[in-house]
Chain A
Amino acid sequence: MTLREIKEILKAEIICGEEHLDIEIEFAGGSDLMSDVLAFGKPGLLLLTGLSNAQSVRTANIIDAKAIIYVRAKKPDKMGIALAKEKEIPLLSTHHMMYTACALLFNQGLPGVRSSSNQK
């Protein structure tokens, strides 16, 4: 599903990266703990998070995540937005809470990260 479709499903607002809305998203994962994201995340991830500091973007960039959806209408700070623009990571914000946002996407057919304990 495209990021544009995801934006519609979540009635999300674009913070930056409007020009990348046609990218294809294959799987997603949600967490507010950055070490969790680094442990389960895989390149291509759509990250849903309630954490809105610059580390959310830095973490996404480290694992080559494709985009970030901030839940509960959160928005990252200026430093986070600047890095996202530089790294071409689109940022969106939805008023839905984490559980609902994930459920809405899952119901529309977007799967979670396939779990594997070792990425080596």
Chain B
Amino acid sequence: MKKSDEHVLSQQFEIKGGDFSNAGKTSTSIKEILQEIGIDTSIIIRAAIAAYEAEMNVVMYAQRATFTLNITPEKLCFKVEDEGQGIDNLDMAMQEGFSTATDEMREMGFGAGMGLPNIKRNADRFKIFSTPGKGTSLDLTFFLNQDE
């Protein structure tokens, strides 16, 4: 990759809330893109886990979202901006085990309350903003050069 190409790649995906049968497809595609570019496998897995958890949260708790992928020679950035109910108490939402998932979602294998903590643990930089009644956005960064 040449240093001069600021944006090596930039791509947007739309995620639909409530669409469980397609949930996870966006992250699967993102993982494929990262593999094609030839990013380090351990970074791909961390990024794919974060993307998947973020996507599942949109499907479970929001109406829709735009997932923006930005790759530069130095870093990989995910921006997931949703329109939805938002999060009333971010501190609580960030705790392992806290979940407002319905029984139906639990039957599908979700609602461990591990998603946001998983995302935070896997990303090098993690930012979350939420406005109750409006929506939530996540800003994630993964450095591509190990020493950073």
Contacts and interface: CB of A to CB of B under 8 A. Distances in A.
A83 B22 CA distance: 12
Nearest to B107: A51
A113 interface: no
B112 A58 contact: no
Contacts of A32: 109
B114 A118 contact: no
B114 A38 contact: yes
Interface residues of B, number: 30
A49 B109 CA distance: 10
Interface in B30-84: 31, 41-42, 45-46, 48-49, 52-53, 56
Interface of A: 32-36, 38-39, 43, 49, 51, 53-56, 58-59, 61-64, 79, 83, 118-120
Interface of B: 20-21, 23-25, 27-28, 31, 41-42, 45-46, 48-49, 52-53, 56, 108-115, 117-118, 121-122, 124
